[in-house]
């Protein structure tokens, strides 16, 4: 199983909507959504579509970033009102040193339905006993681990058939132009080894990375990130960076520079995916759809790639 970990911003959610049919058909993807904006209509419609397509997914109850950081009640209310008794919804809980399990546990009483849990271990919880208590009355299908040492430490608490390895292979750079320095780098080969290492699945932050920023501003350079499978079974990532990066007066024209490089690459490698088709269409029409949509294509392409690898 692959667990793409996404922050619930508009284009991340739209990516999941556009992939819902494909995820449903193949059954190897379990998206994890960390809601970050006032529970918007985008989130509502996305959940509806995932439910309709019978895709399993996890919704994080205690986000660690964004506007909903301390809005447990709002998220629970949203689940009651909008998701209802969907058996394939998993409640996500982030565990880190600042997680406060007691009040969180208390609030779970407000849920009108029972759901299984996905526990995301970002770092060690200071009090192993109370963590153990937290597990007692819950069905936990998945435990995601950033740190493999915790797997040993928690072996009495968790079921071995729930382990998922969580990593962040995306090397975020400070500016878009910095990606030009290493335009091609190793991304992941987790898909080849997770099983061997005793995990039932793997998870990552796709081509966005764990760092969360909510500030959007016109970039000087435009970069498109595209993952691809090499003959040796490793997944690498290419960064296609525009050339004229000294101002942001002409973003569509700057985007075209990055896009032309991407098109040359996917044609040379003969890459096929619905995202690649979309990129080819953009180039042919000369139409720039906005940066959100570029991020969306990068996400969709990556999930499609993993679906191909796992099937």
Partner 1 sequence: MNTVIQNSVDNNLSISGIFSNSHFKRVITNGKSNFIDAKIDKYIQFLELNEGATRKDALKAMYSYLLSEYRCEYVYKNFITKKILLGRHSLNTSTLLNEFRVGSSLADLVLINGKSVVYEIKTELDTPERLEDQLADYRKTFTHIYLVTHHSLIEKYLSILKDEEVGLIALTNNFTLSEVREAKKETRYLDITTMFKSLRKEEYSNIIESEYGEVPDVPNMYYFKECLKLAEQMPPKHFHKLMTTELKKRKPKETTPFKENLLPEYLNSVCMAIDPTANQYDRLFQFLNTKIN
Give the interface with partner 1 as residue ranges (CB under 8 A).
Answer: 246-247, 249-250, 252-253, 255-256, 285-288
Give 66 or 209: the residue with its C-beta nearer to partner 1: 66
Cβ atoms of residues 221 and 177 within 8 Å: yes
| CA gyration radius, the chain | 20
Q: Which helix (H) or strand (E) covers residue 90, if one does?
A: strand 89-95
- Least Cβ distance, residue 56 to partner 1 (angstroms): 39
Q: How would you label 206-231 residue by residue, b for 16+ Cβ within 10 Å and e otherwise?
A: bbbbbeeeeeeeebbbbbbbbbbbee
Starting at the earlier edge strand, list the strands of the sheet with 235-241.
184-188, 235-241, 223-229
- Least Cβ distance, residue 246 to partner 1 (angstroms): 7
| 129 phi, psi to nearest 5 deg | -65, -45
Give 126 or 252: the residue with its C-beta nearer to partner 1: 252
- Least Cβ distance, residue 216 to partner 1 (angstroms): 16
Give 155 or 287: the residue with its C-beta nearer to partner 1: 287
Give 82 or 260: the residue with its C-beta nearer to partner 1: 260
Give 51 or 222: the residue with its C-beta nearer to partner 1: 222
Residue 44 CA: distances (Å) to CA of 7, 48, 91, 215:
14, 6, 16, 23
Distance CA 48, CA 46 (A): 5
Give 7 or 256: the residue with its C-beta nearer to partner 1: 256
Give 135 or 220: the residue with its C-beta nearer to partner 1: 220
- Least Cβ distance, residue 255 to partner 1 (angstroms): 7
Q: How would you label 42-70 residue by residue, b for 16+ Cβ within 10 Å and e otherwise?
A: bbeebbebbbebebbbbbbbbbeebebee
- Least Cβ distance, residue 217 to partner 1 (angstroms): 13
Give 195 or 287: the residue with its C-beta nearer to partner 1: 287
On the 0-12 / 13-18 / 19+ scale of CB atoms within 10 A, 196 is exposed
How do beta strands 2-7 and 32-34 pair? parallel
Which is nearest to 110 in space by CA: 86, 148, 78? 78
- Least Cβ distance, residue 244 to partner 1 (angstroms): 10
Cβ atoms of residues 206 and 170 within 8 Å: yes
- Least Cβ distance, residue 282 to partner 1 (angstroms): 8
Cβ atoms of residues 51 and 83 within 8 Å: yes
- Least Cβ distance, residue 38 to partner 1 (angstroms): 15
- Least Cβ distance, residue 213 to partner 1 (angstroms): 17
């Amino acid at each position: 199983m692959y667990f793409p970990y996404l922050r619930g911003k508009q284009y991340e959610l739209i990516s999941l909507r556009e992939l819902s049919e494909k995820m449903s058909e193949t059954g190897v993807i379990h998206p994890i959504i960390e809601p970050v904006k006032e529970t918007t209509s985008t989130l509502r419609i996305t959940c509806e579509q995932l439910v309709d397509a019978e895709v399993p997914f996890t919704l994080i109850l205690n986000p660690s970033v964004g506007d909903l950081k301390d809005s447990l009640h709002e998220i629970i209310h949203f689940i009651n009102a909008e998701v209802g008794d969907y058996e394939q919804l998993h409640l996500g809980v982030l565990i880190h040193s600042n997680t406060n399990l007691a009040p969180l546990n208390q609030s779970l009483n407000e849920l009108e339905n029972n759901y299984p849990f996905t526990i995301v271990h970002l770092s060690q919880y200071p009090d192993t006993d109370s963590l153990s208590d937290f597990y007692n009355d819950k069905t936990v299908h998945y435990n995601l681990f950033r740190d493999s040492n915790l797997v040993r430490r928690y072996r009495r608490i968790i079921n071995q058939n729930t382990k998922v390895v969580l990593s962040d292979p995306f090397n975020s750079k400070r500016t878009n132009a910095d990606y030009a320095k290493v335009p091609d780098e190793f991304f992941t080969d987790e898909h080849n080894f997770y099983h061997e290492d005793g995990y039932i699945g793997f998870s990552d932050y796709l081509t966005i990375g764990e760092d969360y920023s909510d500030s959007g501003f016109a970039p000087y350079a435009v970069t498109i990130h595209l993952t691809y499978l090499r003959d040796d079974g490793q997944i690498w990532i290419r960064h296609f960076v525009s050339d004229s990066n000294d101002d942001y007066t002409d973003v569509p024209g700057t985007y075209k520079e990055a896009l032309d490089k991407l098109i040359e690459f996917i044609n040379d490698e003969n890459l096929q995916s619905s995202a690649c088709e979309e990129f080819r269409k953009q180039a042919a029409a000369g139409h720039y759809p906005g940066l959100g949509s570029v991020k969306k294509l990068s996400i969709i392409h990556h999930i499609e790639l993993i679906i191909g690898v796992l099937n």
